[in-house]
Amino acid sequence: MGRFLFPRWANWMPAAIFFGVLGPFATVAVAGVWYYGTDKFWSVGYTPKQPVDYSHKLHAGDMGIDCRYCHNQVEKSGFAAIPPVQTCMNCHAKVKTDSVKLLPVREAWQTGEPIPWVRVHDLPNFAYFDHSVHLAAGVGCSTCHGRIDQMQRVGQQKPLTMGWCLECHRDPGPYLRPKSDITNMAWEPDMSRTNTPITADGRKVSPPTHCSGCHR
C-alpha cells in the first residue's frame, strides 16, 4: 500500500522543490547579501588597492594640498568628483617624471583614457547624498571620511549606514564647523554644542530625518 501512496520517484521531491523552487530565491538572497553586505558597501576598513599608488598622507598631509584642489566640485556639486589626469599632470609634468609608480598616470595622459580608480565610499543608489549641501552647512571632510591626511591608502573609516547618518541629522550641532575649517582634518567636534543646530555663521539647519529626505 505504501508504495502506491509514496512511489519511489517521491524520494526526489524534496530535492526538486528545494533546487527548483526555493533554490533560485535562496541563491538571489545570498547573492544580494554577499554583494551589498560586504566591505565594498558597508564595512569599516575597506581599503582597496588602487591602480596608482597615490598617498593622501603625502599630498594632503605632508604637503598640505587642500582637498578642493583635486576634488574641485565638492562645494558646488552632489559629488566630490574624481580629479582628471590633467590635475595630476599639473605637477607631475615636471615632478618625478621618470617615476615607475606614475607610469599609469603618464599613460592615461598620453591615451586620454581615465585612470580606473576604485571607489571606496560607495553609497547604494537608493540613498541620496549631496556633498555641497553638507559642506555649506559646515560638515567637513573628516567627519565622514576620517583622517584622510594620515592615510597612505584611503580606506573607509565610518560605517555610512542609515543609523549612523541619522545620529548626525538628529543632532548636527557638534559637527558644524566654520567654513574656513571644512578641509581641516585636525578639527574635532564640540560635543558641548549638542542640540544646537546653528552653523558658524548663525544659520539654523534642520537636516531631514524623514524617509524622503534621503530616499527620493
Q: How many domains does the chain have?
A: 2
In a domain, 157, yes or no: yes
Written as nine digits, the cell of 117 is 580608480
Q: Mind listing the pLDDT tens digit of every residue in the chain (216 residues)?
A: 445 566 777 677 776 776 666 666 776 776 677 667 665 566 789 999 999 999 999 999 999 999 999 999 999 999 998 999 999 999 999 999 999 999 999 999 999 999 999 999 988 899 999 999 999 999 999 999 999 999 999 999 999 989 999 999 999 999 999 999 999 999 999 999 888 888 878 889 999 999 999 998
Any domain includes 151: yes
Question: Does residue 152 sit in the same domain as residue 189?
Answer: yes
> 163 and 208 in one domain?
yes
Residue carrying C-alpha cell 547573492: 31
Q: Is residue 70 part of a domain?
A: yes
Asked if residue 164 is part of any domain, the answer here is yes
Round to whole Å and give the CA distance between 29 and 12: 24
Within 13 Å, how many C-alpha atoms sit on residue 99's CB side?
Answer: 16
* Residue 198 DSSP code: B
Phi/psi of residue 12, each to 5°? -90, -5
Chain centre distance of CA 129: 10
19 with 60, same domain?
A: no
**Distance in Å from the first CA to the final CA of the chain:** 62
Same domain as 129, residue 29 = no
Whether 187 is covered by a domain: the verdict is: yes
Range of 31's domain? Answer: 7-36
Residue 97: per-residue pLDDT: 96
Is the domain of 171 the same as that of 72? yes
Grid cell in block for residue 11? 524520494
Q: Answer whether residue 108 is part of any domain.
A: no
- 69 belongs to a structural domain: yes
Q: Does residue 72 share a domain with residue 16?
A: no
CA-nearest of 91, 180, 182, 106 to 139 is: 182
pLDDT number for residue 2 = 45
Q: Which residues have C-beta within 8 Å of that of residue 25, sequence separation ≥ 6? A: none
Distance CA 216, CA 126 (A): 7
Residues 6+ apart with CB under 8 A from 106: 92, 97
Q: Looking at the structure, tell me whether residues 28 and 66 fall in a common domain.
A: no
Is residue 62 classed as helix, strand or coil in its secondary structure? helix
Among 56, 206, 38, 60, which residue's Cα sits nearest to residue 133?
206
pLDDT score for 27: 67
Q: Is residue 42 part of a domain?
A: no
Statement to judge: residues 72 and 176 lie in one domain: yes
Q: Are 34 and 42 in contact (CB under 8 A)?
A: no
